[in-house]
Amino acid sequence: LLPSINRHYKCVYYHIVSRLEAEERLSQADTQSGTFLIRESESRPGSCSLSLNFRGSILHYLLYNHNNTYCISDQVKFNSLNELLQYYMLIADYLPCTLTVPVFKPVNRLIERDERWEIEKSSIRVMNCTDIREFGEIFMGYWHNKGSVLIKTNITADITQERFLKEANILKKLNYESIICLYGVCTKEYPFYIVTELMNHGNLKKHLSRYSFAPAELIYITAQVVNGMIYLGEQYYIHCDLRAANILVGEYNTVKIANFHFAQHLNGNKYWIIEERTKLAIRWTAPEWHTLNRLGIKSDVWSFGILLWELVTKGNLPYPGMTNVEVVEAVPQGYRMIIPEDCPEPFQQLMVNCWEQNDDERPRFEDIFETLVKHKNSFI
């Protein structure tokens, strides 16, 4: 039955229920508009249907599967069920509302819990979805203990529950002003929630496209990131995904490093030896990933140089005009991006230094911080 839907989605999303049973499950008193489930279609066996609660009414949509593409409307087609769900969680389009939270099947898997961090899901109100990433969906929400919060879920993330919670377990160990603050987790039922502080202006990449930073603001933001990276290094962690999209912006240009899904503890080693088939952000990751199959603290320094480039270009995609394959081939051979016009000092030289091929020749984050402080007057 539906062999193209992988086991993860069958386990978590897929309900072997009738249309009537789906309506009963979606009609519970506490079910919000946009809640959905996926089931086998009764009218077309072998296909599946999306059942959706919209303002108390239960609506049903056949998910067409033509030549390994999925769609509700012929005008918008997707290569996978996952992509279809992600799209309709952000855009209503053909549907009367965006999808919010699915009705999950119970899964017989034990998750080790730390009751000190456990939050009752009933105390959390999930609101609009603001972003969808490989490691989970980001929602605005409200928790009575803290007010507005950020909620990461694992609704369409094609990862195990344990891997999803790895980020929360790392954040439990980190407590610093430049690192996103973990409030708690909800792990007693699916979907799991990771609840953190809310940074009102979202991620830095999007904020760069909406707001023009003065030079003094740029160095203030940069210094905060470097401060956080110094702390991570002192804790023997490497972030492995340092980029503008993973920096969150709050009031008065306060920024915090977030999204620790790839972060690794070095356990006394200089390098993390990368497992085969590990998928990292190609345009931000240091070349030793490909040449030596390893990453270390100085690899985060390389990524920081790419982040500087993003800051100066207002969030442009690094290596413009190049494919990921071209980047992988060119960078280990010495190719570097052109320093943008009107790039302020000391950003110009910092980019050059951060992109040294030999990681030992790159500056330490402590050195970068001293350089920023030394040049701060030129930004005022």
* Catalytic sites, residue numbers: 241
**Which amino acid would we find at residue 308?**
L
Residue ranges with strand state E in the chain = 14-15, 36-40, 48-54, 57-66, 69-71, 124-133, 136-143, 147-153, 182-186, 193-197, 237-238, 247-249, 255-257, 264-265, 271-273, 294-296
Q: What is the CA radius of gyration of the chain?
A: 23
Q: How many other CB atoms sit within 10 Å of the CB of residue 325?
A: 9
The answer to whether the peptide bond before residue 106 is cis (omega within 30 degrees of 0) is no
Residue listed under structure tokens 């980029």: 243
Q: Following CA atoms 338, 340, 346, 347 in sequence, which dihedral angle do they give, to the nearest 10 degrees?
A: -80
DSSP state of 202: -
Contact (Cβ atoms closer than 8 angstroms) between residue 292 and residue 277: no
CA 219 – CA 324 distance, rounded (Å)? 29
Burial of 237 (0-12, 13-18, 19+ CB in 10 A): buried
- How far, in whole angstroms, is CA 4 from its chain's centroid? 25
Residue 292 token pair = 């030596």
